Amino acid sequence: MILLYLAFLFLGAGLAWAEQQPTPQDVVAYIARDGPVRGNEKAPVTLIEFSDFQCSFCWRFWKETLPLINEKYIQTGKVRFLYHHFAILGKPSTLAAQAAECANEQGKFWPYHDKLFSQTTTPLAFTEAKLKEYGKEIGLEARPFNQCVETGKYANKVEAETAMTALLGIRGTPAFLLNEQFLSGAQPFNVFAAAIENELKKAAKPTQSKP
């Protein structure tokens, strides 16, 4: 099921599968142009987070590091930030990821993303009833959102995203792809800042005028 769905995704993206699985480069290229995004689409740096809403280290990144990256780099047009599901911590993780996709239907992925992470450290935070309640709290239209959650509309999508992440060799959360550089774990802001600044310097070189 996973491989068939992946094949569908890649063919839909214009990537021929023929007789073999996609390469890691194919997977990265697809991921980099798919999914919820913050920031300028033409930003010179793309940062992709591979994450699970139940992960305590992902929560730490969301609470301590992402706000600083957002203020200094995303809102200033230097970084384009994408979220990619890597739901590996059981059924509550997959349900939360699916609910986030349901929220995305109403243009509220990021408010729902923030709501979920605000509940990460709360026991039994991702039951179906709780996920519906969070939707109500952020102002989602209840009927279509609840129906989306109940039917598991995005189960295959979340499963496929998790499988694609595994194809890249990623085994834990959070993990990050900063342009072509992998970063693992909830690194402090200074680690991200140094890597981002390095990528910004690379991006600026072709535009520098010769003396």
pLDDT digits (tens, 9 = 90+) for 20-60: 565 556 666 666 666 789 999 899 999 999 999 999 999 99
Which band of pLDDT confidence, cut at 50, 70 and 90, is reported for residue 15? Answer: very low
pLDDT digits (tens, 9 = 90+) for 136-163: 999 999 999 999 999 999 999 999 889 8
Question: What's the confidence (pLDDT) of residue 186?
Answer: 87
Here the tokens at position 47 are 């940062």
The full set of domains in the chain, from first to last, is 2-193 (3.40.30.10)
- Torsion 206-207-210-211 (CA) sign: negative
The Cα–Cα gap between 92 and 116 comes to 11
Pick the more confident residue, 203 or 108: 108
The Cα–Cα gap between 11 and 26 comes to 11
The Cα–Cα gap between 103 and 98 comes to 9
Report the DSSP pairing between strands 37-38 and 45-51: unpaired
